[in-house]
Amino acid sequence: MRKLFSLLALVALFISSATNSQACTNYLLTRGATTDGSNIITYAADSHVLYGELYFWPAADWAPGSMVKVYEWDTGKYLGEIPQVAHTYSVVGNMNEFQLAIGETTYGGRKELGSQKGALIDYGSLIYLALQRSKNAREAIKVMTELVEKYGYYSSGESFSICDPNEIWILEMIGKGEGQKGAVWVARQIPDGYVSGHANQARITTFPLAGKTSISSANMEKLSNKEITTVYSKDVISFAKEKAYFPKNGKNKNFSFSDSYAPVDFGAARFCEMRVWTFFNRAKSGMDKYFDYCKGNVKHDKIGYATNRMPLWIKPDRKIDVLEVMDFMRDHLEGTELDMSKDLGAGPFGNPYRWRPLTWKVDGQTYCNERVTATQQTGFSFVAQCRNWLPDAVGGINWFGVDDAASSVYFPVYCGVTRVPKSFAVGNGKMMDFTNKSAFWVFNQVTNLAYTRYNLIQPEITKKQKALEAKYKKFTQIIDLSAKKMFEQDKESAIEFLTDFSCNQGDNLTNQWRDFYAYLFTKYMDGNVKSVDPNPNNRNPKVEYPGYGEKMYKRIVNETGDQFKVIGGGH
């Protein structure tokens, strides 16, 4: 066995040129809030230079003295090495063989806490180290917090979604800055029957202090007690007082993690909390009362704490199906006054996307584009479904997709697989290396074509997307039953069965989408819409010229007056 093992040997392939992906979205749904009783979390990894791939690490045994080389996930920068554990678990994407799934969003927080000389553990390493070393959410919290305490925390503020078949937790963490080691943090279990979310803004405010349901990190051995639903670093409040983020004479019960370490401003509300609101608003009535806050109208008390924030979790009006969860990841503020398909920026074809920069100036005044859940710069996203009534290898499904979630398709990858589809595998192309054998590039071709005439092309994408995901859901219901039965007789064959199924669905999807692009390009090229003429005697296709639409033509006339007016009426 090698003495040195690179946990992120794959990093050089998929992240070597990446920059910070501080624009992600997570939704969390507990068992009591879903139609089938599964725990679900979602994650969109958003970065303009993140190449969408499906990572895989097999389970392995390691000799004493083995080391893990740690690379920063965002940049591929080598940070150092730490001791390896004796056994690591299999991981596919952000889910391991025990149905443990972890997602994240970067909130940044206090800038002076964003760097720590000599730190070895960044947020990406925390995720993949924890997945390889933990069997459930509570173990993951323990692993993650102990790693940063021992080796230092390299990243800025992060929110983590941590999900297993029985529980879902949110862990929020921020470093201590230069001159100190480690991080301060709070973790809370989402109550069963409730849903939560985070999107680049810390969301844990006040929390119960040490008692029957809450412990500090000084008592981590008690975390296995299921009555414990809150755990926090022992110095999370004292450190805030030391840094004057919270008054020295402030009552501990009034301490808010988020308001102290990541105060909410216009951008945090408008660009981040708004994405959580869209999910909450579709799950529960009455959320309109928080819309003004999410638009950026944040009210503060005398110590700077926001007073009109949304709750950390809500109880939805109905139970939610996994297919609906996928659609939550495709929101562009449709049906609200900020609907991105309706304003001038949408152009003549109702395109709900705005190219960067996010903010811009006119005559010295700053303006913004909306930052919504579905975005062009998504590298990959997933919907992790954890089901406690099935064997782990069968119960965990990583519904995985690449590129913009609005035009992607989530296909099922069982967490017990031993390989991934070739078209989604690491090393099959990269950000500046196009190949039509890669799912990432094939989906980007379709998506970027749709951006050119969104109101015509996207409906075709949505129709095909819905049909495929509904089919996959039906398939998994059959696969679940078959694999569960196989496990009782031959576990190894059952694992291979699940692996074959997952790989076949992924590669078949890429092939279908490649053909779909050919169909769409042929139909919509050159600004018109062509279709096969039903009359066999006509060799040319039927052609329609939809133009720009009456609304856009009126805008043109209002802006240009008689510039394009045809004199004498014309034809």
- Give domain limits for the chain: 4-331, 438-527
User: Residue 233 and residue 136: Cα distance in Å, rounded?
Assistant: 20
Which H or E element spans position 230?
A: strand 230-232
pTM attached to this predicted model? 0.94
Give the other-Cβ count within 10 Å of 509's Cβ: 24
> And the tokens for 505?
């669905």
Could you give the C-alpha distances from 22 to 9, 47, 163, 214, in angstroms and in order? 23, 7, 21, 30
pLDDT exceeds 50 at position 6: no
> 271: which DSSP letter?
I
Cα–Cα distance for residue pair 413/394, rounded to 1 Å: 10
Scanning the structure block, which residue is given the tokens 């696969």?
A: 479
Residue 268 has pLDDT above 50, yes or no: yes
Query: What number of other Cβ atoms are within 10 A of residue 209's Cβ?
Result: 14
Q: What is the mean pLDDT of residues 185-211?
A: 97
Q: Please report which confidence band the pLDDT of residue 536 belongs to, taking 50, 70 and 90 as the band edges.
A: confident
In sequence order, what are the beta bridge partners of 168?
A: 163
Could you give the CA distance from residue 466 to residue 483 in angstroms, rounded to a whole number?
A: 25
CA dihedral 135, 140, 143, 147 (to 10 degrees): 140
What does R_g of the chain's alpha carbons equal in angstroms? Answer: 25
- What is the token pair recorded at 64? 């004493």
Q: Give the rounded distance of the alpha carbon of 456 from its chain centre.
A: 27
Residue 11 has pLDDT above 60, yes or no: no
70-89, pLDDT tens digit by residue?
Answer: 999 999 999 999 999 999 99
Percent of the chain with pLDDT over 70: 96
Q: With 70 as the cut, is the pLDDT of residue 30 above it? A: yes
pLDDT at 20 over 90: no
Question: Within 10 A of 327 (CB to CB), how many other CB atoms are there?
Answer: 17
- Which tokens go with 121? 């553990």
Q: Which of 135, 220, 221 is nearest to 185 (CA)?
A: 220
Which residues touch 425 (CB under 8 Å, ≥6 apart)? 53, 54, 56
Average pLDDT of the residues in 541-550 = 93
Q: Provide mean pLDDT across the span 203-211.
A: 95
Instruction: List, in order, residues 6 or more apart from 203 with CB less than 8 Å away.
Output: 159, 170, 172, 196, 197, 258, 276, 310, 312
Q: What DSSP line would sit under 275-316, residue for residue? A: HHHHHHHHHSTTGGGGHHHHTT---B-TTS-BSSPPPSEE--
Please tell me the predicted confidence (pLDDT) of residue 100. Answer: 98
* Mean pLDDT within 385-408: 98
- For the chain, count helices (H), then strands (E): 14, 25
Contacts of 476 (CB under 8 A, 6+ apart): 397, 412
Overall residue count recorded for the chain in this entry: 571
pLDDT at 8: 41
Q: Which residues pair with 183 in a beta bridge?
A: 175
CB count in 10 Å sphere of residue 110: 18
pLDDT range class, residue 7, cuts 50, 70, 90? very low
Q: Tokens 């006119």, residue? A: 362
**Residues 17 and 11 sit within 8 Å (Cβ to Cβ):** no
Closest CA to 452 of 347, 570, 298: 347
CB 158 within 8 A of CB 107: yes
